[in-house]
Every structure is written in C-alpha cells, then in structure tokens.
Amino acid sequence: MAHHKSALKRIRQTAKRTQRNRFYRTRIKNITKAVREAVAAGDKEKALEALKIANREFHKYVSKGVLKKNTAARKVSRLHKLVNSMTEAA
C-alpha cells in the first residue's frame, strides 16, 4: 500500500478512471451491437437509426477524450459500410 499522499491520490484517480473507462467501453460495444443486430435482422430503418446514434455518441466520446478521432471515424465508417451493404443487397 502506498504511503505518500500523492501516491494515495493516484490510486483514487486510477480507480475512478478505470470505472469511467469501463462504462464507455461497454457503451461502445452495445452501440455497435445494436447496429449489427439491426442489419442482421434486415431492418433498414432500425439500422439507420442505430447508426445515427452511433455516429453522434462516438464523436461525443472523441470530444470527451475517451476515443481518438481516427478510432471513432474508423468505427463509424465500418458501421456505415455495413448498413450500406445491407441496402444494396435489398
């Protein structure tokens, strides 16, 4: 266990950050999953709505510093590609 005041503070900060990051990681997975499930079900309208939410949320996470800009762009791009392939096949 740490004895210095600054080390104790670091432990508290790390615990808080870990909890926050775990929430965001789970949220990102769930948002992505919603888009993929809508595509798998063949529901174009639901997929587009989920994609819109994904786009907004991922870019919000960029501004909060949770995701890097290119990571968010890559994830959104892949989801767009998936939804567009669904509409072309239909």
The parent domain of residue 48 ranges over 5-89
The model carries a pTM of: 0.81
Confidence of residue 31 (pLDDT cuts 50, 70, 90): very high
Residue (of 40, 44, 41, 63) closest to 52 by Cα position: 44
List the CATH number of the domain containing 63: 1.20.58.110
pLDDT digits (tens, 9 = 90+) for 34-66: 999 999 999 999 999 999 999 999 999 999 989
Rounded-to-integer distance, Cα 66 and Cα 11, Å: 20
Residue 30 has pLDDT above 70, yes or no: yes
Q: Work out the percent of the chain whose per-residue pLDDT is above 70.
A: 97
Q: Is the pLDDT confidence value at 33 over 70?
A: yes
Q: State the average pLDDT for the chain.
A: 93
Residues 6+ positions from 33 with CB-CB distance below 8 Å: none
pLDDT for the residue 23: 96
Q: What total number of domains does the chain contain? A: 1
Does the structure show a pLDDT above 90 at 87? no
